[in-house]
A and B are shown apart, each in its own frame.
Chain A
Amino acid sequence: MKFRYIFLLIVLLPIKAFALIEVDITRGNLSPLPIAVSPLSIDEESKENFRMILKKKNIGSEISKIVENNLKQSGLFNPLNKDAFLQKPEIANLKPRFEDWALIKAQALVTGKVTSVDDKLRVEFRLWDVLAGKEMMALAFTTVPTNWRRVGHIITDKVYERLTGEKGYFDTRIIYVAEEGPKTNRIKKLAIMDQDGFNTKYLTLGNELVLTPRFSPTNQMVTYLSYFRNLPRVYLLDIETGVQEVVGDFAGMTFAPRFSPDGKKIIMSFAMDGNSDIYTMDLENRLVERITNHPSIDTSPSYSPNGKYICFNSDRSGYQQIYVMKSDGTNVKRISYGKGLYGTPVWSPRGDLIAFTKLHKGKFFIGVMRIDGKGERLLTENFYQEAPSWSPNGRVLIFYRETKTDAKGEGFSAKLWSIDLTGYNERLVETESDASDPSWSALLSN
C-alpha cells in the first residue's frame, strides 16, 4: 500500500476573487447549500480504456458520485438529484447555461472532464457560481488510473475549501480496530480505510489483541498497542513496508501512544507496580524521558499542535480528570471541573479546543472544551462511546460507540460514528466489520 502517489496539479485558469457564495460551517447543517454535481464527461475511447483497466463502466460518473457522496456526508451541502439536470455533462463543462441550473435551485455547480492520456487518468473540473454566472475555480490532475477514488476526494477537498474557506478532510484515511467474535473474547485487527469507508485493508491478522492505533503526522507510520506474546507494549508500524518494532525497552506495559506533532517522538503511558506515568521516546536517538511522576494514573496524553503543551488524563484528584502541562511536565493544571469523570483528551489540530469523553450519571458523552477548560460543550450522549479523533481541519470528530447487551448478554456491537463540532450531522461511519478506536489521518495530498 502506498501513500505517496504522483499528482500533477495544474491551475487551468486564474482563480478570480469572487467570493459570492459561501458556506458558513460554524452554524451546522440547518440549510445545506444546494449544489449540482454534473457527471464528469468522458469521450468513448477514454471510457473504453478505463473500463478495461478499472472494470468501471463510466469512470466519469463514478468519480462524480464520490464527490456527491462526500459533499452530502459533510452535512453542509445538498447535492441535487441528477434526474433534474437539463444540460448534458460535456456541454455543461464548456459553458453552463446558468438559467437551467438556477431553475433547479442549484447555487453551485461542479462540472468536469475525464480523459485517458498515455494510460493515465487526466481529470479537469470546474466550480461555478450559478447565481452570479461565474467560474470560481478550475483545476486539472493527472494520475495513475487506480487513484480514481482519491481524485474524487481531492475534487471534494477543493470544492469544500473554495466554498467554506477552510481546508477539506476528504482525501484522508481512518485507521481503526476491526472487531469480531463474542464480547468475552473479541478478535481485533488493525484496519485502514478511506475516510468514506472504501479500500479497507487489514494490517494485522488478529492473532494478538491490538488497540488504539494512531497515525503519525505524515501518515507513514502508525503507533498502537499490541499484546504480541502476551506483553502489552507500544509498537510502531511503517504502513508502506509493513515493518514493525516495539517502542523502547520498558519492563512493563506501555500503552496510550500518540505521535508528537513533528512526528519525532512518541508519547505514551508506562505502567509499573500499579502506577502509570507519562513518558516520551525520541524516535531518532531512542532517548526515553519521563514526563510525569505521580502515584496516580496518568494516561491518554495528547500534544498541542505547536508541541509546547500536553493534555492528559489523571485521577490524582481522586477521579479521572483532564490536565494540561508544559511538554517538559512542569506547570500541571487541572482544566476539567464539570460534573462527572473526564477521559481521552485530544487536542484539536486548530489548537483552540480539547475534545474528550465524559462519564456522568451512567451516560457517556463526547464533548469539547477550550484549552483552559472553559466553554464545555457536550455534542452527543449515549450508553457507551469514547475516544474522539479530530478530522485534520478540526471540524469533525470520529469516535466509537458500543451497544448495551440484552438480558442474555447478546447484541453487542461496536461502530464508528462521526459528528460535526457544531453538534450536528451525527452519522454512522460504515465499516466492513465492527470497529473501534478510530484515528483520522492528515490530508494525504498537499
Chain B
Amino acid sequence: MNLEKILKNTFLVLLACLVLSACATKKVSTGQLQGDVYTGTDTVEYLASGVPDRVFFATNESVLTTASRDTLRKQATWLRKKSDINVVLEGHADERGTREYNLALGERRANAAKDYLMTYGISSNRISVISYGKERPVDSGSNPLSWSKNRRSVTVKAN
C-alpha cells in the first residue's frame, strides 16, 4: 500500500471539495484533515527512514485510525529490530478542553498507542507513557487544523 499516494489523492479530493463548494473559510495551506483527524506531515518527525514518530486523533477520541495503526506497525517493526531502544509515548490533547480532563485524555491516547505496539510484539517494559494534556502544543494556532496537529501521541526514544 502506498501511503503517500493515498494521502495525495485524499488531498486532491479535499481540494476539489473546497473549490467545488466555493468554501468561504480560510484556505488550508499546509496539512490536511480527514474528518477532524490530521493526515498531513507538517509536524511529523521520523524515528528512522519511513518510520513516522506520531499518530493523530479525532476530537475527544483515543481510537486509532487506519493511518495511525499503519504508523504504529512501522514503529513496531523498527523497535523489534532495535531491541536496545526504549521509548516514551507522549500523549497530548488540544486546547479545547479542561486541563484536568485533557491530562487524562492524553494518557488514554498514549496508552492506545502503547497497546497497539504491544500487540505487535513490543514488551511493555520497553514503553513508558506520559501525558502532557494540553500543556505542550506543537502548533500555537487557535483553529481546527492547529488543534488536529496537537491531538497526538508521539513516540520518543528514551535512550
Report which A residues bind B (CB closer than 8 A).
182-186, 209, 211-212, 225, 230, 232, 252-253, 255-256, 269, 271, 273-276, 297, 299-300, 313, 315, 319-320, 343-344, 357, 359, 362, 383-384, 386-387, 402, 404-405, 407, 409-410, 412, 436-437
Asked if A409 and B140 make an inter-chain contact with CB atoms under 8 angstroms apart, the answer reads: yes
- The distance in angstroms between the C-alpha atoms of A430 and B107, with both chains bound, is 34
Contacts A273-B111, A319-B60 given; indicate if A300 touches B137 (C-beta within 8 A).
Answer: no
Q: Which residues of chain A are within 8 angstroms of B107 by Cβ–Cβ distance?
A: 252-253, 271, 274, 276
Q: Are A359's CB and B100's CB within 8 A? A: no
Given contacts A297-B105, A299-B100, contact A186 B131 (CB under 8 A): no
A407 to B142, CA, bound (A): 8
Chain B residues contacting A343 (CB-CB under 8 Å) are: 97-98, 100-101
Instruction: Decide if B98 touches A344 in the complex (CB within 8 Å).
Output: yes
What is the CB-to-nearest-CB distance from B116 to chain A, in angstroms, rounded to a whole number?
Answer: 12
Residues of A within 8 A of B101 (CB): 297, 299-300, 313, 315, 320, 343
Q: Pick the contact of A437 from B99, B115, B130 — CB < 8 Å?
A: B99
Digit string of B53-67 for contact with A (CB within 8 Å is 1, else 0)? Answer: 000000010100000
Q: How far is the CA of A319 from the CA of B129 in the complex (A)?
A: 23
Contact of A274 among B26, B95, B115 (CB under 8 A): B115
Nearest 3 A/B pairs, CB to CB:
A274-B111, A343-B98, A409-B140
Q: Nearest B residue to A320 by beta-carbon distance?
A: B101
What's the nearest-Cβ distance from chain A to residue B124, in Å?
A: 9
Q: Which residues of B, 86-126, contact A by the 8 Å Cβ criterion?
A: 95-101, 103-105, 107-108, 110-112, 115
> Considering only CB atoms, which chain B residue lies closest to A362 in the complex?
B96
**A359 and B131: CB pair below 8 A?**
no
Q: Which residues of B are interface residues toward A (Cβ below 8 A)?
A: 26, 60, 62, 95-101, 103-105, 107-108, 110-112, 115, 129-132, 135-142, 146
User: Are A269 and B104 in contact (CB-based, < 8 A)?
Assistant: yes
CA distance A404 to B142 in the complex (A): 6
The main secondary structure of chain A at its interface with chain B is mixed
Residues of B within 8 A of A405 (CB): 140-142
Tell me which of A275, A276, A315 has the highest count of chain B C-beta atoms within 10 A of its own C-beta.
A276
Q: Which B residues are CB-close (under 8 A) to A362?
A: 96
The verdict on A412 contacting B140 (CB below 8 Å), with A276-B104, A320-B101 known, is: yes
Q: Assuming the A-B contacts A274-B62, A274-B111, A344-B98, are A253 and B103 also in contact, with contact meaning beta carbons closer than 8 angstroms in the complex?
A: yes
Contacts of B112 in A (CB 8 A): 274
Is there contact, CB below 8 Å, between B98 and A387?
A: yes
Q: What chain A residues lie within 8 Å of B60 (beta carbons)?
A: 315, 319-320
* Nearest CB on B from A227, distance (A): 8
Cα distance, A319 to B104, chains bound together (Å): 13
Q: How far is the CA of A359 from the CA of B110 in the complex (A)?
A: 24
Q: How far is the CA of A225 from the CA of B115 in the complex (A)?
A: 26
Give chain B nearest CB distance to A236 CB in angstroms: 18
Do the beta carbons of A409 and B141 come within 8 Å of each other?
yes
The CA of A263 and the CA of B16, in the complex, are separated in Å by: 61
Which partner residue on chain A sits nearest B139 by CB separation? A409
- State whether A256 touches B141 (Cβ < 8 A): no
* Closest partner residue, chain A, to B141 (CB atom): A409
Report which residue of B97, B101, B112, B139 has the largest number of chain A beta carbons within 10 angstroms of its beta carbon.
B101
| A57 to B60 CA separation, bound complex (whole angstroms) | 57
What distance in Å separates the Cβ of A168 from its nearest Cβ neighbour in chain B?
Answer: 30
Docked-complex contact B99 and A386, CB < 8 angstroms: yes
Cα separation A303 to B46 with both chains bound (whole Å): 46
Would A255 and B100 count as touching, CB distance under 8 A?
yes
Check B104–A297 contact: CB distance below 8 A.
yes
Known: A184-B136, A359-B97, A405-B141. 17 other contacts (CB 8 A): A183-B137, A184-B137, A184-B140, A209-B132, A252-B129, A274-B107, A274-B108, A274-B110, A274-B111, A274-B115, A276-B104, A313-B98, A315-B101, A343-B97, A343-B98, A362-B96, A436-B99
Give A384 to B130 CA distance when docked, in angstroms. Answer: 25
Alpha-carbon separation in the docked complex, A409 to B105 (Å): 24
Query: Across the interface, which residues of A come within 8 angstroms of B108, CB to CB?
Result: 271, 274-276, 297
| Set of chain B residues within 8 Å of A320, measured between Cβ atoms | 60, 97-98, 101
CA–CA, A377 to B98, complex, Å? 19
Name the CB-closest residue of A to B105.
A297
In the docked arrangement, what's the CA distance between A232 and B138, Å?
20
Report the Cα distance A27→B131, complex, angstroms.
43
Known: A183-B140, A232-B130, A275-B108. A344 touches B100 (CB 8 A): yes
Interfacial chain B residues near A269, Cβ < 8 Å:
100, 103-104
Ordered by A's residue number, 5 sampled pairs between the chains whose C-beta atoms are within 8 Å are A184-B140, A299-B103, A313-B98, A315-B101, A357-B98
Indicate if the CB atoms of A386 and B98 lie closer than 8 Å.
yes
**A274 proximity list for chain B (CB < 8 A):** 62, 107-108, 110-112, 115
Residues from chain A with a CB closer than 8 A to the CB of B98 are 300, 313, 320, 343-344, 357, 359, 386-387
Please give the distance in Å from A126's CB to the nearest CB on chain B: 46
Within the complex, what minimum Cβ distance (angstroms) separates B59 from chain A? Answer: 11
Residue from the list A313, A315, A319, A407 in contact with B100, Cβ < 8 A:
A313
